[in-house]
Chains A and B, each alone.
Chain A
Amino acid sequence: DGGITQSPKYLFRKEGQNVTLSCEQNLNHDAMYWYRQDPGQGLRLIYYSQIVNDFQKGDIAEGYSVSREKKESFPLTVTSAQKNPTAFYLCASTGAVNSPLHFGNGTRLTVT
């Protein structure tokens, strides 16, 4: 079955630690995305990548970093510089611009 896998489902970290969220897709999609969702809120774009070895900042990139070394993988690192990292993080992909996004089931990150 093709899809997007985000792991782990729940992640707990201490303040001041960097943490990396995994996103893997086997849909052969070129474009991949990371969104942040806070309780009762919409999705805000963190980073997106149209193609391997290239990525662009979204609306809330500060305190986050990404890499796109392989087509299938788009890991997101939440750094200690992110002031309020506790949130639900969603990864998505699409095969062509303007086509629907396919989403993973998210990682809920709690930083204490």
Chain B
Amino acid sequence: SQQGEEDPQALSIQEGENATMNCSYKTSINNLQWYRQNSGRGLVHLILIRSNEREKHSGRLRVTLDTSKKSSSLLITASRAADTASYFCATVTSGTYKYIFGTGTRLKVLA
């Protein structure tokens, strides 16, 4: 399977705390993307980081990318109950249209 791995599989934190989730992938990539999925719904794109970037910010989101280790992390700062969702990383295998998703992290933010 080409599917990437994410850890932790599940994370439970208090409102106001930071949440960090990690993603590892297997192929050579052009970029890495993070998505959010609310229960029973489709995925929504959050942020994209190119292979020549090491860090990117968007609001309360901070993404890092280490291509030498084939890994990325997503940090959500000052979490809110509304951040409760599953988070997935996705990569596009270079030279193809094939988007491969990680196994996901289920985040629960307690009010």
| A contact residues around B35 at 8 Å (CB) | 101
Report Cα–Cα, A35/B33, bound state, in Å.
Answer: 16
Is the CB–CB distance between B99 and A106 below 8 Å? no
Is the CB–CB distance between B98 and A98 below 8 Å? no
Is the CB–CB distance between B40 and A106 below 8 Å? yes
Q: A42-B3, A98-B31 are in contact. Are A103 and B43 (CB under 8 A)?
A: yes
- CB neighbors of B among A31-86 (8 A): 31, 33, 35, 40-45, 48, 50, 56, 58-59
DSSP class of A's interface residues: helix, strand, loop or mixed? strand
| A contact residues around B30 at 8 Å (CB) | 98
Is the CB–CB distance between B97 and A48 below 8 Å? yes
Taking residues whose C-beta sits less than 8 angstroms from the other chain, chain B's interface range is 20 to 34
Whose C-beta in chain B lies nearest to the C-beta of A41? B103
Is the CB–CB distance between B97 and A59 below 8 Å? no
B76 interface residue per 8 A CB criterion: no
User: B48, B90, B97: which contacts A31 (Cβ < 8 A)?
Assistant: B97
Is the CB–CB distance between A105 and B41 below 8 Å? yes
Report Cα–Cα, A90/B4, bound state, in Å.
Answer: 18
Is the CB–CB distance between A90 and B1 below 8 Å? no
| B contact residues around A45 at 8 Å (CB) | 98-101
User: B31, B45, B101, B106: which contacts A43 (Cβ < 8 A)?
Assistant: B101
Is the CB–CB distance between A106 and B97 below 8 Å? no
Is the CB–CB distance between B100 and A101 below 8 Å? no
Is the CB–CB distance between B1 and A100 below 8 Å? no
Whose C-beta in chain B lies nearest to the C-beta of A105? B42
Whose C-beta in chain A lies nearest to the C-beta of B103? A42
Chain A interface residues toward B at CB < 8 A: 4, 6, 31, 33, 35, 40-45, 48, 50, 56, 58-59, 88, 90, 92, 94, 97-98, 100-106, 108
8 interchain residue pairs of minimum CB distance: A103-B42, A100-B45, A42-B103, A43-B101, A103-B43, A105-B42, A98-B30, A42-B104
What are 6 inter-chain pairs, A to B, with CB distance below 8 A? A44-B3, A45-B99, A94-B99, A97-B96, A97-B97, A108-B40
